[in-house]
Structure 1
Amino acid sequence: MPVQRFGVLKCKVTAYKEERDDRDPHFQIEVVDDQGTHYRISVNVMSRSEQSEVLYLVDEDFNASAISILPNIKLGFTPINHNNRDIALDYIRSSLFDPSSMKPLSHHITGPNNDLNDLMEHYIQKAINEDALLYVYGSRWGPEKNRDHIFRFQPGNGLHNVHMNQGNKGRWKGDNASYQDGGLLIQFKDHWVGIFLAFLSQSWCTDEKGHPTEFCGHTQMRQV
């Protein structure tokens, strides 16, 4: 799955699928843009590291004023770079939320409405029902020659890394960058919902390249 570039995809949701029993489960979302191009959004619901849990925060009244240009961008994928950083997400530098509000949640707990898959299903189904716009921040792959192995559309396209992408050490340090955090924003008719994901192993003290440091230069953030 070669990564092409990081950016934001403006789209509509068409379907979704839960993964609970896989060794590397994701919540899979099928979306489409105004050109009829289909994408699969692969959202981590469990960390591949045994020493890290997935942290989540849902803001049901997200203040989108800081990125108010979003409704004006075209549907489809928009790469993010230093020239349009005003539409980027940065969990540390953009003051999007209080990180101490993020909580760990398992991807699979017996019963309804009590795990990360259930949480994702609730908001994604609501987006389908209300024909809401979805903004997905992540790393794009494709187009590929083969059909997508989950939703079977062709060519395969998609986004992953839909979570915080800084403060990593070891295996995942190559993903570090500032202003390239992933997440989901849903634009309903009268409000926005923000869904933000991170891993317990990630540091909230990072330098301007997103690498972990011992000193937190961003005083508005607190260690989770």
Structure 2
Amino acid sequence: MKVYKRTENGVTTNVSIREGLAEVERADREFDTLGIRSRSSKGSTHFIEYGDGRKVLFELTEVPDVKLTDAMKDTLRKLNSGEVVFADASTWRALERRGLITANTAPWEPMQGTRCLYMLTDAGREAAAGTTPVEDAPQEHTAPKPVTPKGRKCLEYVRRAGRPVPLAELSKAGFNGNTVNSIDGCLRFRPEPYIQRTPAGYVLSDLGRRELSR
């Protein structure tokens, strides 16, 4: 299967073709709004230089199209439901090579080096939709899932920023994958997210603004 290899300032992750093209098209569509310094394409390779200094290169690449193992399915299911996931390194690498998860790294503490935060890509969420056992399938709800205290702090951080906040920045600020998953609408039983993911980062949704005005 084909995915885009996305390299931002030397850090490379695999993203689905849909996600890659969405970021490229948004850069073209909102060139001035996003403060794009330069934008170029050659065939299926695309380059974006943002006004904040980020340089992003998209290269189309082929990854092994192998069947999902039980461990891979279980990992996707747990990520999709916001659970804490403990999996071996080979499982994470296999999912990342397939473009089903993306690894976002951010400096943590000098003595602790770099921490890695895995999140589902759009392709990963689609794949996860078919991995939930019937007996474990969440029930549909008509009301949004309540925000945890940590989730509210994350919402407040995004509001204070007043701009799209990249996942790596949220990670550096102390908000892990489970916290972000709990408010970004990736859980299939939540009808509306509190924050929305854009190519430039996370922004508050209308529901998120209403939550913070309480």
TM-score range for the pair, normalised by the shorter chain length: under 0.3
Report the structure number with the largest CA radius of gyration. 2
More helix by share: 2
Normalising by structure 2, what TM-score? 0.26
Bigger relative CO (Cα 8 Å, ≥ 6 apart)? 1
